[in-house]
Amino acid sequence: LKDQFDNLDKHTQWGIDFLEKYAKFVKERIEIEQNYAKQLRNLVKKYCPKRSPKDEEPRFTSCIAFFNILNELNDYAGQREVVAEEMGHRVYGELMRYSHDLKSERKMHLQEGRKAQQYLDMCWKQMDNSKKKFERECREAEKAQQSYERLDNDTNATKADVEKAKQQLNLRTHMADENKNEYAAQLQNFNGEQHKHYYIVIPQIYKQLQEMDERRTIKLSECYKGFADSERKVIPIISKCLEGMILAAKSVDEHRDSQLVIDCFKSGFEPPGDFPFEDYSQNIYRTISDGTISTPKQEGMRIDTKTTVGKAKGKLWLFGKKPKPQSPPLTPTSLYTSSTPNGSQYPIFSIEPVHYCMSDIKTGKPRIPSFRSLKRGYFCLQGPALEDFSHLPPEQRRKKLQQRIDELNRELQKETDQKDALIKMKDVYEKNPQMGDPSSLQPKLTETMSNMDRLRMEIHKNEAWLSEVEGKVAARSDRRHSSDINHLVTQGRESPEGSYTDDANQEVRGPPQQHAHPSEFDDEFEDDDPLPAIGHCKAIYPFDGHNEGTLAMKEGEILYIIEEDKGDGWTRARRHNGEEGYVPTSYIDVTLEKNSKGA
């Protein structure tokens, strides 16, 4: 390699170029990692929920698991940023610094080699010049010798010419000897410098270039290792992120999510009752039955069933008076008198009017609870949120009240702790006046006590509402249990009395009490007349009554109760002037008459 200086120059330059090429590769890899981490963070930010109120926080395990996965993915993106930062600091930055140092070192070694080569070339030129001068002097000396010999042999030459030629020969010979000595010295010097150049200087320079190239190779190896170590260092944390995602996936509980849906939408209302059987074959059995007490049908007694159904639909208006259905005309043939063993008589209706009335009642009444649900939904959607949550279904109202009570209890506990701390601080100030003025704490202590009293009142008020809701839910549960036992027996004003059997001879109703018929038919069909008051109430709080079907009232106002709360939080009431509407049950103090029908 002693004569391969130019090739080594090219090789070392290639090594530096390769180093920079790898540095560029690392830089692009860093950019990829940074962009990847940035895109992951943007993805997480896009699908991560905005900050929402506490009530709107996700509660389903599938949603919570997804948000945990997003958090783990965000941590994973952070680890990709760590990889990029580690590569940039440990690999790319180190490569760029080393490349700069390597260029400087290579330049220095190449300059030393060029200088040594230039010095050797200079020595060779000096030796060559002395050689040429020696050669020229030798030729001149030979010419002088030939001239001397020619004159010395020439008989015609004078002695002066011979002597002059001899002196010229001696001069040229002396100069040739001097040039010979100088050439010998220059040659010896050049040979020494050439030996030194090829055996000492150049090998040393080449060795330095070799060491430099080997260090470059070692540095590349270290950077390769650092490149892999940057990735390997974050593998444990990335593995934890992936394990967190797996744990989040395992935490999904479909049964718990279903229960949350049930708890969220559970209203506490009873399902609608069973539809009664409508026997349309009754007239056939009356015709062929011998034991039926009836008279021949008259044309005036016929009632159109379509008209009856239309009347039943007309009864389903909640926020106003029901249209009065046209009762079938009663003729002497349609009204019979039955006597009892003791001789008392009571009127009964014939089969046809009672049958159509019963059909009318059966057709219309089972739909009323669903319309009440629509009314309740209307209030929930259109009406303002009430303080006692009476616009919500019973179960949801109970949950909201319980949540508010828990929050108030937490606030009360904070105020209590603050009061205790103020009392202790006041005691310390009283014992050590230099630490502070005890009277300066009195306003804060008074404010804290006032807040505690306010919170206690709020808790007491909400607990009263909660007790009311829980009592109604329990009462409805008892009614539901009793309805499951006797599901064929209709209850309240909304169902007719009596029942039908498969036997056509027993389709007539049992002997009703003297006051039963007028009361029932007044409630169900004579709605143009005011409903009877079943009690009275006193308004505890004022109510605006902006929504349709509600009744505004002032605090302390006395109203008549004409329909009890059916479990939806609303009671139907009437003013003295006859104005009717629904009012929140929690806003009034109800007193029912013991002997009233609805009591």
pLDDT in tens, 110-158: 999 899 889 999 999 999 999 999 888 888 888 888 888 888 888 787 8
Please give, one letter per residue, the 3-state secondary structure of 378-430. HHHHHCCCCCCCCCCCHHHHHHHHHHHHHHHHHHHHHHHHHHHHHHHHHHHHH
| Rounded distance between C-alpha atoms, residue 511 and residue 502, angstroms | 19
Specify the DSSP element, H or E, that contains 590: strand 588-592
Would you identify the CATH topology of the domain 4-260?
A: Substrate Binding Domain Of Dnak; Chain:A; Domain 2 (1.20.1270)
Residues near 432 by beta carbon (within 8 Å), at least 6 away in sequence: none
SS3 (DSSP) at 563: strand
Looking at residue 345, the DSSP 8-state letter turns out to be: E
Query: Tens digit of pLDDT per residue, the chain (599 long)?
Result: 556 888 989 999 999 999 999 999 999 999 999 999 999 999 999 998 776 655 555 678 998 999 999 999 999 999 999 999 999 998 999 999 999 999 999 999 999 989 988 999 999 999 999 999 988 888 888 888 888 888 888 878 788 888 888 888 888 888 888 988 998 999 999 999 989 988 898 889 989 999 999 999 999 999 999 999 999 999 999 999 999 999 999 999 999 988 888 888 777 777 777 888 877 777 775 555 444 444 444 444 444 444 433 433 344 444 444 444 444 444 333 333 444 434 444 343 334 444 444 444 444 433 334 334 434 443 433 445 577 787 777 777 888 888 889 999 999 999 999 888 888 888 888 888 887 888 888 888 889 989 998 898 889 888 888 888 787 666 655 555 555 544 444 444 333 333 334 443 433 333 334 343 444 434 444 444 567 888 889 999 888 888 888 899 988 999 999 988 887 888 999 988 888 999 999 899 888 876 544 43
Give the count of beta carbons closer than 10 Å to the beta carbon of residue 87. Answer: 23
The whole-model pTM stands at: 0.48
3-state helix, strand, coil in the chain (%, to 5): 65, 5, 25
SS3 (DSSP) at 506: helix
In this structure, are residues 469 and 398 in contact, taking their beta carbons and an 8 Å threshold? yes
Residues near 539 by beta carbon (within 8 Å), at least 6 away in sequence: 553, 554, 555, 556, 557, 558, 559, 583, 587, 588
Q: How many residues does the chain have?
A: 599
Percent of the chain with pLDDT over 90: 30
Domain boundaries, the chain: 4-260, 394-476, 535-592
| Rounded distance between C-alpha atoms, residue 565 and residue 474, angstroms | 14
- Tell me whether residue 128 is exposed, middle or buried, using C-beta atoms within 10 angstroms of its C-beta: 0 to 12, 13 to 18, 19 or more: middle
| Rounded distance between C-alpha atoms, residue 123 and residue 413, angstroms | 102
Considering only CA atoms, which of 495, 267, 453 is closest in space to residue 361? 495
Angle between helices 254-265 and 61-86 (to 10 degrees): 120
Which CATH superfamily, name and number, covers 535-592? SH3 Domains (2.30.30.40)
| Rounded distance between C-alpha atoms, residue 33 and residue 80, angstroms | 6
SS3 (DSSP) at 598: coil
For tokens 């007028």, name the residue.
Answer: 518
In this structure, are residues 294 and 261 in contact, taking their beta carbons and an 8 Å threshold? no
Looking at residue 87, the DSSP 8-state letter turns out to be: I
Compute the mean pLDDT over every residue in the chain, rounded to the nearest whole number. 75
